[in-house]
Amino acid sequence: MSGTELNAVARAMVAPGRGILAADESTPTIKKRFDTIATESTEENRRSYREMLFTTPGAADYISGVILFDETLRQSTSDGTPFPVFLTERDIIPGIKVDKGAKALAGFPREKVTEGLDGLRERLAEYRELGARFAKWRAVIDIDADIPSDFCIGANAHALARYAALCQEAGIVPIVEPEVLMDGAHDIERCAVVTARTLERTFAELVDHRVALDGIVLKPNMVISGMNCDRQASVEEVAQATVECLTANVPAQVPGIAFLSGGQSDVDATAHLNAMNRLGPHPWELSFSYGRALQAAALGAWSGRSENYSAGQSAFALRARLNGLARTGRYEASMEFVAA
């Protein structure tokens, strides 16, 4: 895939009014989700749940791409259509999670580095054959009184850049995800400082690795108060702080920024995205790449029962539509109470 083609895919991933569904939960993670609805995490139940989401009527109006787990990329709809083919036929771009998870960073207590570079070139070639057109790699940066260290930020930024370069070599658009976690008691000002440091180092590494910035999508955290902070910043404060941080640290060549929800409630994630887009125009598209914030209501409505299929789809359709509206600042809180 040429640089022009990578740019076209990246722009399609953040097309106006649309965003990305993160359905790439690992097997242990989706088991935890299924445990909350007393549903066994069998391969068929996982397949059926993802099919419910993917086949939701009208989903393509608001969903531009789906991040898949390795297992899901190889699965099919109940009529035998491979998921990547089914999605592509509906103008939804299939993607794939390729990292192997965050592991303890030796010598740096309480800090982590994401692994998965070994054999990545070969895996990317296979994933492209299976239909993936973009990939995702998540780095994890924790905040505490004495962390993150510069070394932790640098190690994760370096790995993100190596991954991104390998993706572009394979003709796959990389989602670059340096997540500063909202766990902890830090305030929004501390989050802003750490996020700025992380983004600055990440883009320096991307440039050093000769990654074409117009052929990536950035998936950052929002600048937000820690979950245990005594004072939670308002929606407007989060929007202002996040936009200021991104404006200072994200080059204009990047086609789009697709936020992670990072533990926010589905309503908060939508409200924050909406407020940011109301502050526009911006040099890049401000979109979403949500997992729980798109799926939580649908998972609860479905509850592992075939008779609840349509209820699960209705819940997913509503969240997708509301986030689609937030892409242009047209979301209103009153819409939460309108049926899908």
Q: Which helix (H) or strand (E) holds 22?
A: strand 19-23
- Marked catalytic residue, from 51, 97, 219, 285: 219
Is 285 labeled as catalytic in the residue annotation?
A: no
Query: Nearest to residue 188, comparing CAs of 229, 243, 139, 248?
Result: 229
Report the candidate in 91, 46, 52 with the shortest Cα–Cα distance to residue 73.
46
Choose, from 177, 179, 205, 285, the residue flagged as catalytic. Answer: 177
Give the whole-angstrom CA distance, residue 171 versus residue 173.
7
The answer to whether residues 73 and 135 touch, using CB atoms and an 8 Å cutoff, is no
Neighbours of 42 (CB within 10 A): 11
**CA 102 to centroid of chain Cα atoms:** 16
Q: Which amino acid is at 156?
A: N
Known active-site residue 307: no
- Cis status of the peptide bond prior to 178, with omega within 30 of 0: no
Q: DSSP secondary-structure letter at 220?
A: P
Distance, in Å, from the CA atom of 98 to the CA atom of 224, rounded to the nearest integer, reads 27
| d(C-alpha 323, C-alpha 20), whole Å | 10
Q: Which residues are catalytic?
A: 177, 219
